[in-house]
Structure 1
Amino acid sequence: MRITSRLALLALTFLSFLPQARADEGMWLPLLLKQLNEADMQSKGLKLTADQIYSINQGSLKDAVVQFGGGCTGEIISDQGLLLTNHHCGYGQIQQHSSVENDYLTKGYWAMNREQELTNPGLTATFIVRMEDVTSQVLTGVPTQNIQEADREKLVQANIQRIAQAAVQGTHYQAFIRPFFNGNEYYMFVTEVFQDIRLVGAPPSSIGKFGGDTDNWAWPRHTGDFSIFRIYAGPDNKPAPYSAQNVPFKPRHHLPISLAGVQPGDFTLVFGFPGRTNEYLTSWGVDEIYSVSDPAKIRIREAKLKVLDADMKASDRVRIQYAAKYASIANYWKKWIGEVRGLKKLDAVTRKQEQEAVFQQWATSGDDARRAAYATLLPQLQKYYTTNRDYTLARDYVTEAALGIELLAYANSLLPLAEMVDKKASATELNAAVEKARGGTSNFFKNTTIATDQKVAAALLPLYANGTPAALLPAYVKNLQKQYGAKGGWNAYVAQLYGKSRLTSNESAQAVLNEVAKGNARALLDDPAAQLASAIIGHYRTAILPTYTTATDNIALLQRTYVAGLRQQQTQRKFYPDANSTLRVAYGQVQPYTPADGTKYDFYTTLDGIMEKADPTNPDFEVPARLTELYNAKDYGPYAYKGSVPVAFIATNHTTGGNSGSPVINGRGELIGTNFDRNWEGTMSDIMFDPDRVRNITLDVRYMLFVVDKFAGASHLVKEMTLVGGPNEAAAPADGKKLEKIKVKRKPARQKAS
């Protein structure tokens, strides 16, 4: 590794430097809270014990937290299985129930009785039953040296499968095992997965998405980002497929809801399933994200969003079809822009280089064993990152640009059928695969407008051809580039592509499948969309993926060793594992922040701010008439604070994607809000945390209650909940409920329904 004279001096200066997990940084394993975090959490205002947060022997906070679908979190807020999550987490389900005639995206939806609650095939809610450290079992028989990473992974996966199966044999539970600290440790999660999840309520998009892309990843925020579902179970309270005989699920614990609100310095706990962080990356890994990957993906998504935005504004049908897709694409597009800005602001690459200089000095100044294990580690990592740089870029252009064209992604999904014909699969196997493809085809055309996708292709194909390193561009595309690369030429090619392909309508695509089912693979392979997809993906698999995989495997091996070395070097530091979609606890405090010189943001927003932003000419800032009516009448019920309704607040919790919908809980174990975003200045926290700038954005639970009760008139839902705190401390809850399981002395509040 090349170390400049400046870094060498830093290495000598920082020999005693041992970075600590800074205040409020970290996504901690609930299983280890007692030994690692309990005292610190209690010093910041937690009134509970670690066992009241996570326990396998009694009801605890973990029993009110679910993984919602595959990528969000939800919390249980009644003893009848009522589930609260974000509006953007339930957006796909709301879209699927919407049509031009019944536009629930625009108007919202509220089930006024159980019969009106809408089913959602494929949607799940997953509880964590227990966690277990299974590192020794997973690594049994796995050599520590002289083994290729791919071979090691095969042994590890075989052990994982055996251990997970044995853990749940004879039960209705499921189990999975994930690596932590880059494979230095492994933990098993035993789960209970519910399959009957019904939509109960969602505000109109003018509340649930208020601020739209303009305010996304930003503070101050005024978005009512919530939706409500209900978990149903069989008569035995166990998971069951949808049935009219299913009944509302009875949880081991549900979260009481506080009306007391928050103040600066208040303790906050976020409990959820954060998706992915990379806090222990080296400087080369950070630079690859900052200089190569993020900028390319930003360019591609910006081009696609421009097309979709125009067509969605022109057609209600297109708007409904693409609403969830657009939101998903736009979400990370803006996040990556903020991430690049944040990494630049922190000078993240240089800071990582400084840490590496300290590590290198430690590695080379130790005994023979330490030098053998770590002295050459960083130079090797640099070599593989350098090798992989162009391949990473080529991969990004395939996944984001080429497969960002829905026709190509669809055509690519059909190509295995041609392979089955070529390999002479049995008629039974082929027919089963074709039937599955028929269903996928119908769904594809239900949610896709080909005219819009053609415009996307015209925008993205030139980016793919020009952005992919020339040496890694398929010959097929190079020829197209020579033929159509002149100004406007790609539009002509795309018009020809979509004009000749039979995969551009449900009827003609089904006809192609009919021919494939009879053994005529050419019907698919001769289609121009299939030919383009085959050329790009085939080249990717043969010319890009092998080198990319080899380099990333070697990086993974070295990164695991590097993290192990960091933990040896920094013995006083409390390390937390990177997020990997497993249950975690983050904790912090309500705090304002200063994003820039001369600017300071308060810790909360109110309904007043919604009215200040209201703009009927801008779809992002439309305000429903009913909300304006309530505001003008100051009809806030028990949800008011200082003459308005609190909408959102910020705190210092360390969160990421997957924490969307996570409960934000006060020191007494009561729900005070639902996490839905981060501030734009803090989006780099997936890679580097800055306690002065990173804030999670939370929907204040009082705004949720206000919308459900006063705006929607769904007071029957509020009556299900356990409300505590607030202005009417001496009153009893309307349903007579009291806190159970977690016993914290607190007087309940009156539940007032409109």
Structure 2
Amino acid sequence: MLRRCGLLLVALVMTVPSRADEGMWLPSLIGERIRDMRQKGFRLTAEDIYSVNRASMKDAIVLFGGGCTGELVSAEGLLLTNHHCGYRQIQQHSSVEHDYLTNGFWAMNRSEELPNPGLTVAFLVRMDDVTEAVLEGVAETMTPAERDTLIARNTARVIERATEGTHYTASVKPLYYGNQYFIYVTEVFPDVRLVAAPPSAIGKFGGDTDNWMWPRHTGDFSVFRIYAGKDNKPAPYSKENVPYRPKRHFTIATGGVEEGDFTMIYGFPGRTQQYVISDAVDFVLNRSNPLKIDLRTRRLRIFNEEQARDVRTRIQYAAKNASVANAWKKWQGESKGIARLGTIGKKQRQEAAFEAWAADKPRYRDVLPRLKKLYRELDENAFAVDCFNEGMAGIELPVFTGRIAPGTPVSVIRERAGKFYKDYSPAIDRRVAAELFTEYVKRLPARFLPDSLRREIDAAGGAAAYVASVMERSPFATAGGYEALKSDSAALMKALADDPAAALYRRARQGVVPAGREAKRLNAEITELYRTYMQGLREMSPEQDFYPDANLTLRVAYGHVAGYSPQDAVWHVPYTTLEGIMEKDTPEVYDYNVPQGLRDLHAAKDYGRWADRDGAVHVAFLATNHTTGGNSGSPILDRRGRLVGINFDRTWLSTMSDIEFDPSVCRNIAVDIRYVLFLIDRLGGAGYLIEEMTLEK
């Protein structure tokens, strides 16, 4: 997931009731929703979903790698997530000699499972409302700085008490922008090994063309295993570690799903901005997204052209390309959706209603005018930060050398360099630098580009010529240049201190520091005002349902299998089949070049027990669950809590659902669990893995 400083989009509650299948609900409070869930088909209890007294569904779900979700499917630590969630690990293990991206990877026994340094998974042990403890001593008369200082001190005390004498970690997260606080106690496992992954032509079938689209035919899954010490507790990687024994793993339902069936998603949604005011939406639609989309379009064009030239470059830039392209296409769909729904106008009408209600209430009547004033002040600062993050920070070499702080141990530098040069192409970076730096200088508000840097750019004959000179003069521009320096620590440190690429990054960054500092100050004031605004909205509409914005903590969403109409006279059925894969099969196109083994299975109709009642292998299906980034890899569960699919995407018309959820078209996309099992069994020949699992019709 991208982490960037920019315009703070602060979520507000709706002024109308939450609609069907909308919402991301707290597991510990799911009892408040269980009646509605049961009316829609759910057959279990709230304690089956979340319990601290006995094993529950939460004990079979992990935060995978800090940005995705995974689920346990065996008593021996076997874990499913998305192919794109494990993509970096698959890519790191790949080489020209062992191209697991192209050919897939199937461990035939546990000795072949591959370790992944740095990859962790985290289980939620418990979550508790700690609002009273966090806000102890906080007074309305405090300044924002005083309030933040006291809350930070109280939070540290709460975390210390919750984890004392344990190996657990914990974090405290605000909900409703500081009106409520929850602590999340977690158990983190650092030994997670790659077990299986299909070829990219399956796991990433359709590439960026099909990404965010329907119909979808992507087998987006990968298989990992969690290892622990012999005491079943977290332990660093060791050959002596053993498969983790979870408290709970999911039973897999092999009977399939039908339109109208209840579905539940349980995972770690990252960030939603469902009810932001009109000023924030306007910035997204008319300022931020157009800039980011254009700059990423330029990078992706260069990536694609260069990757098409040779296999080595294709492998090197596979994960980078996927990372850049994912948000690039999402932002395009988000902008189209916001415009189609008239979201800005809706927000303006909501704001007018609030102002009318608040007119005779001194606590609330000035909140919106003050917010709008702050957003006007924030605009140019936030735009400058976006320019830096998508422009200057998109050039790899200056970022690499510029972020090495003086005094960094040489051993750390060598470790970073090894990772950097493994997947670095100087030719690509020089082309990207010429494009992005030119646009950066052109679009950045003038006051944020240092005068001395502007003079040097002009003297060089323009931004492209200037950055080309910088890249050419850097001794770190190639792996060979670095290799010549790395054995001499003194020479290496001097070269870093004098590196023109590092100097460019630091000077450009220094120029936008005032923008970032001002944005941070304004965002703090905005957050403080939204805390009051939300109190007002709750008073204005006490009968409404309120669900907190996503913040990468465990949530429940529920809905049903459903198709939709994207445009007049068009209806999308809610599932796809293997037949559709064969219709798209295009051997000369990498992302559509179906593996021969899958072609052979289709030709022989060798589907085993994994075919649906209609005789076809179902690949993916649609549901109405409210999802966002972080829900990738989340289990899709049926009314009995059995695994029926793995969530991996939304439709393009759904990408605005982080800001406005439209139940008529918002659909999440899941890979059918039977397709996953079919590929493990018939294509991968790793049927022994299925023997670990618990299957039911």
TM-score (norm 1): 0.88
Amino acid at match of 2:588: T
Could you say which residue in structure 2 is the equivalent of 1:466? 442
Equivalent residue for 1:631, pick from 598, 602, 606: 602
Could you say which residue in structure 1 is the equivalent of 2:59? 63
Could you say which residue in structure 2 is the equivalent of 1:27? 24
Amino acid at match of 2:337: G
Q: Deviations over 1:706-727 (max 9, x none)?
A: 10011111110111111101xx
The alignment covers a number of residue pairs equal to 683
Q: What CA distance in whole angstroms lies between the structure 2 residues aligned with 1:33 and 1:52?
A: 10
Q: Deviations over 1:30-52 (max 9, x none)?
A: 011102x1000000010001110
Q: What CA distance in whole angstroms lies between the structure 1 residues aligned with 2:71 and 2:286?
A: 38
Q: What CA distance in whole angstroms lies between the structure 2 residues aligned with 1:304 and 1:161?
A: 42
User: 3-state DSSP class of the match of 2:18?
Assistant: coil
Deviation at 1:294, TM superposition (A): 1.0
Deviation at 1:506, TM superposition (A): 4.1
Equivalent residue for 2:474, pick from 501, 505, 509: 501
Deviation at 1:91, TM superposition (A): 0.4
Task: Choose 433-442 or 84-93, whichever is displaced more.
Answer: 433-442
- When residues 286 and 673 of structure 1 are mapped into structure 2, their CA distance, relative to the original with a 3 A threshold, is same
**Are 2:181 and 1:209 aligned?**
no
**Are 2:519 and 1:548 aligned?**
yes
| Percent of residue pairs identical | 50
Equivalent residue for 2:169, pick from 174, 194, 197: 174
Q: What CA distance in whole angstroms lies between the structure 1 residues aligned with 2:456 and 2:48?
A: 63
Could you say which residue in structure 2 is the equivalent of 1:398? 388
Deviation at 1:516, TM superposition (A): 7.5
Amino acid at match of 1:410: F
Deviation at 1:435, TM superposition (A): 2.4
**Are 2:684 and 1:712 aligned?**
yes
Q: Deviations over 1:365-394 (max 9, x none)?
A: 4xxxxx222100001111011111111111
- When residues 402 and 245 of structure 1 are mapped into structure 2, their CA distance, relative to the original with a 3 A threshold, is same
Deviation at 1:322, TM superposition (A): 1.2
Deviation at 1:291, TM superposition (A): 1.1
Could you say which residue in structure 2 is the equivalent of 1:72? 68
Q: What CA distance in whole angstroms lies between the structure 1 residues aligned with 2:170 and 2:94?
A: 35
Deviation at 1:445, TM superposition (A): 1.2
Could you say which residue in structure 2 is the equivalent of 1:750? none
- When residues 373 and 509 of structure 1 are mapped into structure 2, their CA distance, relative to the original with a 3 A threshold, is farther
User: 3-state DSSP class of the match of 2:357?
Assistant: helix
Q: What CA distance in whole angstroms lies between the structure 2 residues aligned with 1:546 and 1:335?
A: 28
- When residues 716 and 29 of structure 1 are mapped into structure 2, their CA distance, relative to the original with a 3 A threshold, is same
- When residues 221 and 476 of structure 1 are mapped into structure 2, their CA distance, relative to the original with a 3 A threshold, is farther
Could you say which residue in structure 2 is the equivalent of 1:447? 423
User: 3-state DSSP class of the match of 1:585?
Assistant: strand
Q: What CA distance in whole angstroms lies between the structure 1 residues aligned with 2:636 and 2:543?
A: 29
Deviation at 1:547, TM superposition (A): 1.6
Amino acid at match of 1:44: K
Deviation at 1:460, TM superposition (A): 0.4
Conserved? CA contact 1:476–1:535, under 8 Å: no
Could you say which residue in structure 1 is the equivalent of 2:9? none
User: 3-state DSSP class of the match of 1:285?
Assistant: helix
Equivalent residue for 1:573, pick from 541, 544, 563: 544
Task: Give the superposed CA RMSD.
Answer: 1.6
Amino acid at match of 2:504: L
User: 3-state DSSP class of the match of 1:595?
Assistant: coil
Q: What CA distance in whole angstroms lies between the structure 2 residues aligned with 1:499 and 1:110?
A: 43
Q: What CA distance in whole angstroms lies between the structure 2 residues aligned with 1:224 and 1:480?
A: 51
User: 3-state DSSP class of the match of 1:179?
Assistant: strand
Conserved? CA contact 2:123–2:187, under 8 Å: yes
**Are 2:528 and 1:531 aligned?**
no
**Are 2:92 and 1:87 aligned?**
no
Conserved? CA contact 1:652–1:694, under 8 Å: yes
Q: What CA distance in whole angstroms lies between the structure 2 residues aligned with 1:634 and 1:381?
A: 62
Q: What CA distance in whole angstroms lies between the structure 1 residues aligned with 2:562 and 2:76?
A: 34
Q: What CA distance in whole angstroms lies between the structure 1 residues aligned with 2:77 and 2:56?
A: 16
- When residues 521 and 237 of structure 1 are mapped into structure 2, their CA distance, relative to the original with a 3 A threshold, is closer
Q: Deviations over 1:613-641 (max 9, x none)?
A: 11112222111111111111111111112
Q: What CA distance in whole angstroms lies between the structure 2 residues aligned with 1:161 and 1:317?
A: 48
Deviation at 1:574, TM superposition (A): 1.1
Amino acid at match of 2:106: W
User: 3-state DSSP class of the match of 1:24?
Assistant: coil
Q: What CA distance in whole angstroms lies between the structure 2 residues aligned with 1:395 and 1:490?
A: 19
Conserved? CA contact 1:465–1:481, under 8 Å: no
Conserved? CA contact 1:588–1:653, under 8 Å: yes
Amino acid at match of 1:76: L
Q: What CA distance in whole angstroms lies between the structure 2 residues aligned with 1:163 and 1:181?
A: 19
Amino acid at match of 1:152: R
User: 3-state DSSP class of the match of 1:373?
Assistant: coil
User: 3-state DSSP class of the match of 1:601?
Assistant: coil
Deviation at 1:436, TM superposition (A): 1.4
Q: What CA distance in whole angstroms lies between the structure 1 residues aligned with 2:319 and 2:388?
A: 22
Deviation at 1:438, TM superposition (A): 2.2
**Are 2:688 and 1:723 aligned?**
no
Q: What CA distance in whole angstroms lies between the structure 2 residues aligned with 1:649 and 1:145?
A: 53
**Are 2:44 and 1:44 aligned?**
no
TM-score (norm 2): 0.95
Deviation at 1:439, TM superposition (A): 1.3
Task: Choose 391-400 or 432-441, whichever is displaced more.
Answer: 432-441
Where in structure 2 are there 5+ consecutive unaligned residues?
1-13
User: 3-state DSSP class of the match of 1:352?
Assistant: helix
Q: Deviations over 1:687-715 (max 9, x none)?
A: 11110010000000010011001111111
Equivalent residue for 2:592, pick from 605, 612, 621: 621
Deviation at 1:545, TM superposition (A): 1.7
Task: Choose 505-514 or 298-307, whichever is displaced more.
Answer: 505-514
Deviation at 1:509, TM superposition (A): 4.0
- When residues 510 and 566 of structure 1 are mapped into structure 2, their CA distance, relative to the original with a 3 A threshold, is farther
User: 3-state DSSP class of the match of 2:571?
Assistant: strand
Q: What CA distance in whole angstroms lies between the structure 1 residues aligned with 2:349 and 2:357?
A: 13
**Are 2:305 and 1:310 aligned?**
yes
Equivalent residue for 1:134, pick from 124, 130, 134: 130
Q: What CA distance in whole angstroms lies between the structure 1 residues aligned with 2:546 and 2:601?
A: 49
Q: What CA distance in whole angstroms lies between the structure 1 residues aligned with 2:575 and 2:135?
A: 48
- When residues 153 and 108 of structure 1 are mapped into structure 2, their CA distance, relative to the original with a 3 A threshold, is same
Q: Deviations over 1:190-209 (max 9, x none)?
A: 11111111100000001001
- When residues 436 and 212 of structure 1 are mapped into structure 2, their CA distance, relative to the original with a 3 A threshold, is same
Could you say which residue in structure 2 is the equivalent of 1:373? 363
Q: What CA distance in whole angstroms lies between the structure 2 residues aligned with 1:708 and 1:719?
A: 11
**Are 2:646 and 1:668 aligned?**
no
Could you say which residue in structure 2 is the equivalent of 1:560? 531
Q: Deviations over 1:437-459 (max 9, x none)?
A: 22112211112112211111011
Q: What CA distance in whole angstroms lies between the structure 2 residues aligned with 1:338 and 1:538?
A: 33
Q: What CA distance in whole angstroms lies between the structure 1 residues aligned with 2:495 and 2:116?
A: 35
Q: Deviations over 1:51-104 (max 9, x none)?
A: 100001111111110000110000000111100000000000001111010000
Deviation at 1:533, TM superposition (A): 1.0
User: 3-state DSSP class of the match of 2:70?
Assistant: strand
User: 3-state DSSP class of the match of 2:250?
Assistant: coil
Q: What CA distance in whole angstroms lies between the structure 1 residues aligned with 2:381 and 2:667?
A: 34
Amino acid at match of 1:623: V
Amino acid at match of 1:722: T
Deviation at 1:502, TM superposition (A): 1.4
Q: What CA distance in whole angstroms lies between the structure 2 residues aligned with 1:521 and 1:540?
A: 26
Conserved? CA contact 2:475–2:495, under 8 Å: no
Deviation at 1:580, TM superposition (A): 0.5
Q: Deviations over 1:261-284 (max 9, x none)?
A: 111111100000000111131111
Q: What CA distance in whole angstroms lies between the structure 2 residues aligned with 1:230 and 1:546?
A: 43
Deviation at 1:510, TM superposition (A): 6.6
Task: Choose 239-248 or 678-687, whichever is displaced more.
Answer: 239-248
Q: Deviations over 1:455-491 (max 9, x none)?
A: 1101100111111122322324422453456xxx544
Deviation at 1:318, TM superposition (A): 1.4
Q: What CA distance in whole angstroms lies between the structure 1 residues aligned with 2:577 and 2:622?
A: 13
